[in-house]
Homo-oligomer: A and B are copies of this chain.
Amino acid sequence: MSKSNNVYKDAFNRCLRLLDETQSLPSEPELGTLLGVSRTTVRSILSRMEETGLIAWNKRNKTVLRAPRPEDFFPEEETDSLAEIIERSFMRRLLAGGAEAGMQINELELAREIGVGTTSVREFLIRFSRFGLIEKRRNSHWVLKGFTRAFALELTEIREMFELRSAAAFAALPHDSAVWADLDRLEVEHRQLASDIATRFNEFSELDERFHRLIHRASHNRFIVDFYDVIAMIFHYHYQWNKAEERQRNEVAIQEHLAYIAALKSRDPAKVDTACRKHLKSARQTLLSSIPEGRQAQPAGTLSATFVRA
């Protein structure tokens, strides 16, 4: 089957949305930059749009003929990259229960169950290993370390160390730094979300990530910045997993963020430290409360073969 053309399909869908806004599309290189793909892919997209009567295409002229209809779009599930598919599938198994620490992970079985090649699974596992949830035995299988309380505590320990340092660095940034404008914009977004919390509370997790990434970036340290990938990944699945009291949790977090932002703007190290610690403490609490120690295993019969008892 070689390679799926999800890059093309995803870019095509995104390009369709552009059609609503304009009468004619920009040049090929410009479209490429806009969509984040090469000109080769742009031309494939344009070809199909011409074929399906969406545009008239003649050299530099790309006139929009009609608005896109739902059936013009490629199905959502065909636009995901293999890596995303594998990650989702793997995380579902990991969080579904029955995945206890010490179990073996079978590459071949995982590949079969997801319906992909072993190479993709191997590469995924290698990439995934930096999250500290799995470990490789030399010349042999992977071992699951488990999404345990210990894991959450180790993760938050580093997070707190890194964020306190980043926040201090942030507050020390010169007045003319561009980050202050970024922070102002994020503050506005926080206030907007706070006032619409009843309907939009599920938009918080995305805002949360952008806010913390901005702060971590102030460290100017690639290891700190990169570590946020681990946190983001865990929180992403954690948010999906634990919907209990989501609205209230997010409401509290927004207020903590606003206090945190105010402290940063004061540029007073002590205030920053206090606000940061307070928020990190409740973030840790939230994460820990979602990990019931001694999670019950599923009946053996329904247990997927991906994770195998050692």
Contact = CB atoms under 8 A, between A and B. Distances in A.
Interface of A: 7, 36-37, 119, 122-123, 126-127, 130, 132, 138-139, 145, 151, 154-155, 157-158, 161, 165, 220-224, 226-227, 230
A3 to B, nearest CB: 10
A223 B126 contact: no
Contact of A221 (B122, B127, B158, B222): B158
A226 B158 CA distance: 12
A132 B222 contact: yes
Contacts of A224: 158
Main secondary structure of the interface of A (DSSP, over half): helix
A223 B127 contact: no
Given A36-B138, A151-B222, 6 more contacts: A37-B139, A154-B220, A154-B222, A157-B221, A161-B165, A223-B230
A81 B9 CA distance: 39
Contacts of A37: 139
Contacts of A230: 223
13 contacts: A36-B138, A37-B139, A123-B126, A126-B127, A130-B130, A132-B222, A145-B222, A151-B222, A154-B220, A154-B221, A154-B223, A157-B221, A161-B161
A89 to B, nearest CB: 19
Nearest to A41: B139
A151 B7 CA distance: 33
Given A130-B130, A161-B161, A139 B223 contact: no
B132 A223 contact: yes
Contacts of A122: 123
